[in-house]
Structure 1
Amino acid sequence: MVFDKRRKSAAELLKSETGDIRNLRPFEHYLVAVIAISWALFQLALADFLILESTIKRTIHLAFAISLLFLLNPCLKRPVKFLKFLSVTDRIPVIDYIFAILGAVTALYLAIDYEGIGMRAGMPITRDLVSGTILVILLLEATRRIIGPALSVIAIGFTAYAFLGPYMPDILAFKGVSLSKYMSNIALSTEGIYGIPIGVSASIVFLFVLMGALLDKAGAGLFFTNLALSILGRYKGGAAKAAVVASGATGIVSGSSIANIVTTGPFTIPLMKKIGYPPKKAAAIEVASSTDGQLMPPIMGAAAFIIAEYVNVPYLDVVKAAAIPAFVSYFGLFCITHLEASKLGIEGLAPEDTPDFFGTLKNGLHYLIPLAVLLYELVWLRHSPEMAAYRAILILFVIIFYQETRKSFSEKTGLKNAVKASFILIARGLIQGSKNMMSVALACAAAGIIVGVVNMGMGGMISGIVENLARGNIFLLLLITAMASLLIGMGLPTTATYIVMASLTAPIIVNVGGAYGYVIPIMAAHLFCFYFGILADDTPPVGLAAYAASAIADSEPIPTGIQGFLYDIRTSVIAFMFVFNPELILHNINSWPHALLIFGMALIGMSCFECFAQGWCLTRNKWYDIPFFLAASFILFNPGGAASLFHIDPGYKYYLFPLGIMIYGIVLFSQKMRMKKNDKKNKNPGAGAA
């Protein structure tokens, strides 16, 4: 079948994402390991004692990423006639050694001649232009190899437009740039490749990704899965509910939906199928829960830190803004699993399939210590994200030594073997962390090309075009942004999609909203772009997350992606809601009781919406139930909007809370009565006939 030909295994997708494709020879394996470990140790040193100018940090960060990528990823993933030398996977060909060295040297060029380039800013010499040109070409090729052609094609399109702008029709005309101007901005300053995105990648994101890789290598992913199963497995649809919780917990430290699926999916998907979920729905639940792992602070697919830089707020403000939408989104998926189980008549797991809670907690409690340290450092001590992650990693090193020592005592293998095993596990974690970072670093650098071109003067023209298309209608503008994010995100990782869309549309959303009386915080606009970038991960026909989950579930990837997207409609609803009700992102909310009230209303509102979306509450919905569910969810999600409809003073909008509950209660009562009536009919079939 065509789908069988297109389907990849989850492991292959993860290898593709992390660049772990080639089967290296022994000395090549050690070379890659040395580079990867050196990169990780360099980033750890930056967080503690190594002090470098920020631009130099960014150049070294990119040099490691680009050289490692060319050593690990072949030019073509499948052999092509007459070009088989470009798809070599059993060794590293000479051409890729050359590319790796050239990429590293040109990435470091800004650091090597830092003072000279600074002295001739805006007036590059021939050497500068040659180095910059080689860097741009190699960066786009490296990006194509690890995340596909989309971002490179978009960057090339923007670059071409920058040079050809004066020759475009009037509506698209742009003053254009010279090669000197282009290279000065893109490759020889912090306006392009070395801009904010890769700066955040170099200073913060690496440490969080490294922490996630170390936790994964230590076995934390399996612990989170077993803990969720031990708590929720015995309840209705327990395996699916456990999948949601496990993916949310894994998403706290993992910035990748595919890595999340590969970590939790092999355990949860077979259990979901075992208790009665169809393969397609089992895979779709895993897709939706793993994709939404990127919503969960603190990492949020690396975007949390970039949002903080773009919006110019402390990192904790991003965490605060993201918290309620993330938890409400996961609660919505939790509701979906329950409603699907009710529709299908699925019960919980058998006792023998449910891990023991206390045993699981006892064996894995130490995995929670680094996360507790991270939260303590961030929230209580208010340390910087990089310092918090660094100290959590140091604690994690100690935890790994403790874990391996305890294992050696139980298996009686000796302390020497425990120390050796600990160093091997840490080394593997450092290597995997560096491999995981390649796609993030290269995506941030390549997206910097687009941002740099936009900042050369094209941004105003693009803003005008988008604003004209929306005709000043904020709803239409949000819809255009959402559709563009989904289309671009099909070929880009979430972080890159966010960077591109936030650069182009976030300011327009704020400005157009203000012009038409909607006060839209800049944080809401940025999170809106980010949310729809995430949804692209399971949007057919690309949706790599759906391919990964379908390979585990043995389901068709396209129907799986469609089902996962339908489950993720709740995420798009939340995104629209917090634009029009910024209180959902706790904008100007500094009171715990107030925040908890908003959170409670949003949870109940999500429950109402999912009952509508799934066509089921206590029983199958009737057509007349739908207006009640929608009205209740709208009132609870956006009491201010409901107050304006009823011409109620906005100061009294929270008095509508009981109204929303009452409307929800009416439909629950109606369905309860309907169920009783049906039960009576079933028990007394002759009564109806009489």
Structure 2
Amino acid sequence: MELQQEKKKGFSAFAWQVVIVVATAGSLFHLYTAQFGLFAAPVQRSIHLLMGTVLTLALFPFGEGKRWGHPLLRVFDLILLLGGGFACAYMAFNYKELVSHVGLPTQTDIILGAALIVVVLEITRRTLGPALVIVALLALAYALFGDYIPGSWGHRGLQIDELLEYQYLTTEGVFSVALGASANFIFLFILFGGFMLKAGVGEFFNDLANKLAGHYDGGPAKVSVISSGFFAMISGAAVANVATTGVFTIPLMKRVGFKPVIAGAIESVASTGGQFMPPVMGAVAFIMADMLGVAYIRVCQAAILPGLLFFFALLYMVHLEAKRSNIKGVSKDSLPKLSTTLRRIHLVIPAVLLIGMLVMQYSATKAGFWSIVAAIGISSFSAETRMSFKTIIMTFVDSAKTLLPVMCACATAGIIIGVITQTGLGLKFASLIIEAAGSQLFPALIMVMLTCLILGMGLTVSASYIITVMIAGPVLIQLNVDPIAAHLFVVYYAVLSCITPPLALAAFAGAGIANTSPFLTAFQSMRLAAIAYIVPFLFVYNPALIWNGSVMEIFFACIQGVLACIAVGSALMGYLGGKRTGIIVRLLLFVASAAFFFPRYESIIAGAVLLIALWSMQKFMGSVGKSCQAPT
């Protein structure tokens, strides 16, 4: 069946067999190293890149689907395969010798470095389009011709040999921490998500969420938030999650009365928000812990309260949207029985095992390995979910295909990171931002936010985080922001780039399923996720929100966050106290929400008093509310 489908897409039977063999071998390699120990960084990363290169060239042949496509053009793919494959294999088998070449590269090193960069850029173009490739080419041009740039942005300029040596022979270029994240963590958790999906956990979350929230006002939308949020916490891939759960949730939302653009936006935001929440956070949790030199559990602790605030705000806004549009829930009779649903609760055991092992400070790789084993084992409890040998192999293939955009983005991100570190651009950027902001934190935060949103567009959250934290992280740390808060600030806007135009990939995926305008869906997604654009400012100014303070300070930070969510949500949705609000009330709600952004008890109390007064007016003074209602 799968082979026939791939043939229809234009793949030869031989190419598809290559995909199956390479994806299976690569998956087994990563599972082996997860359990028995990773190889040296150059070996692990070069084998990972070799696997991805072969798969990309087989799955995305040159000229495929174009009028000028011709079988003879496969020669170009073969040349790329030989060049990139040999460069990766040469590194894997000779890395100890190659390390000694740093500073004195041979002609072979230079040629292989050039070949590898060309191949990485080409496979990135095929999987992600031209945007990231253009950024990488601009970075390479900056490295080579920086001496022609006047002022603080310029540098001495690098020779081509210097550049290629740094990119190929060190772990600061193509084989950087970005590719290391893909090779060590990301693929393993993509595999975990793939096996959990095959085991039926997606349907379980959907049924459980339906039973819990399906019968309330706007129930299917709340189901989407809960089920997509749960699954995205494990899968860590916003676009893939929209494509997986959205095919169930979006049609159901449309059926009960939600506009297609709203349905697509709700699913997109819920799937994106899962990357804010532990335990996986799109594999960023492990990368952040490694880069900060802190325990993994500390990263999860810092992320949990902001993540819960995000989902509270989203559920609240979905509730208001349902109330103002008079959208009811689904009949209880049509919902699955709770007893029937809970019979499959054993499906979450692998996720519980994953969290438990991570809390007990097992390595992320070992926890991921045993969670995958548990997912395969748990699936065998039912004939409906039991995985055959063919199913396991196809899960390897599907997971490897899902990996390709991530891996290519990470490899190309390594090129950019290499330029940043070799030219000192990161330090220059930090000093220039601080200077432009007048050493003031708030304007610096705005500039960093915009930088993260722009650099993160079209990238996976891991690649986006690594690139942006290299550039923007030092800015915040130099302004005395808590390092975890600084990194989490970058993570939030790296994730939000998935729903922020012009390259809002998660929103575009939701729009495709909802059959509506991609850009309108993206803008609606931004409105629904408004609190996520604000929360990072809250925890920068009030570190108690990331569990950095006394119990009382953390408690008041939670109250502050909840009240801010209510005020912002009501202002944006134009609904409070069971009635639509007028323009004046909405403006006053924004004033109330602004009061919650200051970590001072007087400010919080003043905002709370105003919010309660507005709610009371809306609830009990109907004539006043009606007199200032804005047109719908």
Q: Same fold by TM-score, threshold 0.5 exceeded?
A: yes
Residue 225 (structure 1) aligns with: 206
The one of 610, 624, 628 aligned to 1:663: 610
> Structure 2-normalised TM-score?
0.92
User: Unpaired runs of 5+ in structure 2?
Assistant: 1-5, 627-632
The one of 376, 381, 387 aligned to 2:366: 387
Residue 8 (structure 1) aligns with: none
Could you say if the C-alpha distance between residues 176 and 584 of structure 1 is closer, same or farther in structure 2, counting changes exceeding 3 Å? Answer: same
> Do the aligned partners of 1:75 and 1:86 also contact (CA within 8 Å) in 2?
no
Residue 502 (structure 2) aligns with: 541
In 2, the alpha carbon distance for the partners of 1:206 and 1:67 equals 16
The one of 453, 468, 473 aligned to 2:419: 453
Residue 582 (structure 2) aligns with: 622
Residue 350 (structure 1) aligns with: 331
The one of 404, 407, 427 aligned to 1:438: 404
Q: Deviations over 1:30-69 (max 9, x none)?
A: 2211111111111111122255223211111111112211
Q: Deviations over 1:577-628 (max 9, x none)?
A: 2222222222x3475x764553344223312221122121121223443465
Could you say if the C-alpha distance between residues 554 and 60 of structure 1 is closer, same or farther in structure 2, counting changes exceeding 3 Å? Answer: same
The one of 455, 465, 469 aligned to 2:436: 469
> Do the aligned partners of 1:209 and 1:437 also contact (CA within 8 Å) in 2?
yes
Residue 23 (structure 2) aligns with: 36
In 1, the alpha carbon distance for the partners of 2:289 and 2:537 equals 21
The amino acid across from 1:603 in the alignment is V
Could you say if the C-alpha distance between residues 70 and 235 of structure 1 is closer, same or farther in structure 2, counting changes exceeding 3 Å? Answer: same
Could you say if the C-alpha distance between residues 585 and 339 of structure 1 is closer, same or farther in structure 2, counting changes exceeding 3 Å? Answer: same
- Correspondence 1:503-542 to 2 at 5 A: 503-511=470-478, 513=479, 519-542=480-503
The amino acid across from 1:571 in the alignment is A
Are 1:84 and 2:69 counterparts? yes
Aligned to 2:427, what secondary structure does the other structure show?
helix
User: Unpaired runs of 5+ in structure 1?
Assistant: 1-18, 409-417, 514-518, 644-652, 680-690
> Do the aligned partners of 2:350 and 2:372 also contact (CA within 8 Å) in 1?
yes
> Do the aligned partners of 1:148 and 1:492 also contact (CA within 8 Å) in 2?
no
> Do the aligned partners of 2:199 and 2:375 also contact (CA within 8 Å) in 1?
no
Residue 55 (structure 2) aligns with: 68
The amino acid across from 1:604 in the alignment is L
Aligned to 2:123, what secondary structure does the other structure show?
helix
In 1, the alpha carbon distance for the partners of 2:295 and 2:162 equals 33
Residue 542 (structure 2) aligns with: 581
Residue 516 (structure 1) aligns with: none
- Correspondence 1:125-274 to 2 at 5 A: 125-274=106-255
- Correspondence 1:14-33 to 2 at 5 A: 22-33=9-20
In 1, the alpha carbon distance for the partners of 2:488 and 2:533 equals 11
Aligned-pair distance for 1:368?
Answer: 0.6
Aligned-pair distance for 1:471?
Answer: 3.5
Aligned-pair distance for 1:303?
Answer: 2.2
The amino acid across from 1:84 in the alignment is G
Q: Deviations over 1:618-661 (max 9, x none)?
A: 212234434653454445454x2xx2xxxxxxxxx4x8766554
Are 1:53 and 2:12 counterparts? no
> Do the aligned partners of 1:150 and 1:492 also contact (CA within 8 Å) in 2?
no
Are 1:611 and 2:580 counterparts? no
Could you say if the C-alpha distance between residues 358 and 637 of structure 1 is closer, same or farther in structure 2, counting changes exceeding 3 Å? Answer: farther
- Correspondence 1:313-324 to 2 at 5 A: 313-324=294-305
In 2, the alpha carbon distance for the partners of 1:505 and 1:138 equals 28
Report sequence identity in percent: 32
Greater mean deviation of Cα atoms: 496-505 or 364-373: 496-505
The amino acid across from 2:371 in the alignment is A
Aligned-pair distance for 1:400?
Answer: 2.2
> Do the aligned partners of 1:67 and 1:101 also contact (CA within 8 Å) in 2?
no
Could you say if the C-alpha distance between residues 248 and 115 of structure 1 is closer, same or farther in structure 2, counting changes exceeding 3 Å? Answer: same
> Do the aligned partners of 1:149 and 1:491 also contact (CA within 8 Å) in 2?
no
Residue 97 (structure 2) aligns with: 116
Residue 402 (structure 1) aligns with: 381
Greater mean deviation of Cα atoms: 560-569 or 369-378: 560-569
In 2, the alpha carbon distance for the partners of 1:391 and 1:121 equals 38
Aligned-pair distance for 1:102?
Answer: 2.8
Aligned to 2:203, what secondary structure does the other structure show?
helix
In 2, the alpha carbon distance for the partners of 1:138 and 1:503 equals 24
Q: How many residues align?
A: 620
Residue 354 (structure 2) aligns with: 374
In 2, the alpha carbon distance for the partners of 1:228 and 1:305 equals 28
The amino acid across from 1:158 in the alignment is A
In 2, the alpha carbon distance for the partners of 1:340 and 1:100 equals 52
- Correspondence 1:89-108 to 2 at 5 A: 93-108=74-89
Residue 513 (structure 2) aligns with: 552
Could you say if the C-alpha distance between residues 479 and 673 of structure 1 is closer, same or farther in structure 2, counting changes exceeding 3 Å? Answer: same
In 1, the alpha carbon distance for the partners of 2:21 and 2:453 equals 38
In 1, the alpha carbon distance for the partners of 2:8 and 2:421 equals 36
> Structure 1-normalised TM-score?
0.84
The amino acid across from 1:427 in the alignment is I
> Do the aligned partners of 1:400 and 1:422 also contact (CA within 8 Å) in 2?
no
The amino acid across from 1:668 in the alignment is W
Aligned-pair distance for 1:277?
Answer: 1.1
> Do the aligned partners of 1:294 and 1:300 also contact (CA within 8 Å) in 2?
yes
Residue 395 (structure 2) aligns with: 429
Aligned-pair distance for 1:574?
Answer: 0.8
> Do the aligned partners of 2:277 and 2:304 also contact (CA within 8 Å) in 1?
yes
The amino acid across from 2:40 in the alignment is E
> Do the aligned partners of 1:239 and 1:268 also contact (CA within 8 Å) in 2?
yes
Q: Deviations over 1:147-201 (max 9, x none)?
A: 1212211111111111101122234321111223212221111111212222222
Aligned to 1:403, what secondary structure does the other structure show?
coil
Could you say if the C-alpha distance between residues 597 and 576 of structure 1 is closer, same or farther in structure 2, counting changes exceeding 3 Å? Answer: closer
> Do the aligned partners of 1:279 and 1:555 also contact (CA within 8 Å) in 2?
yes
> Do the aligned partners of 1:507 and 1:522 also contact (CA within 8 Å) in 2?
no
Aligned-pair distance for 1:302?
Answer: 2.7
In 1, the alpha carbon distance for the partners of 2:76 and 2:127 equals 17
Aligned-pair distance for 1:243?
Answer: 0.5
Aligned-pair distance for 1:356?
Answer: 2.1
> Do the aligned partners of 2:221 and 2:249 also contact (CA within 8 Å) in 1?
yes
Q: Deviations over 1:357-407 (max 9, x none)?
A: 221221x2122110111111112x221111111111111121122233xx4
The amino acid across from 1:424 in the alignment is K
Residue 289 (structure 1) aligns with: 270
Aligned-pair distance for 1:490?
Answer: 2.9
The amino acid across from 2:59 in the alignment is L
In 2, the alpha carbon distance for the partners of 1:467 and 1:21 equals 55
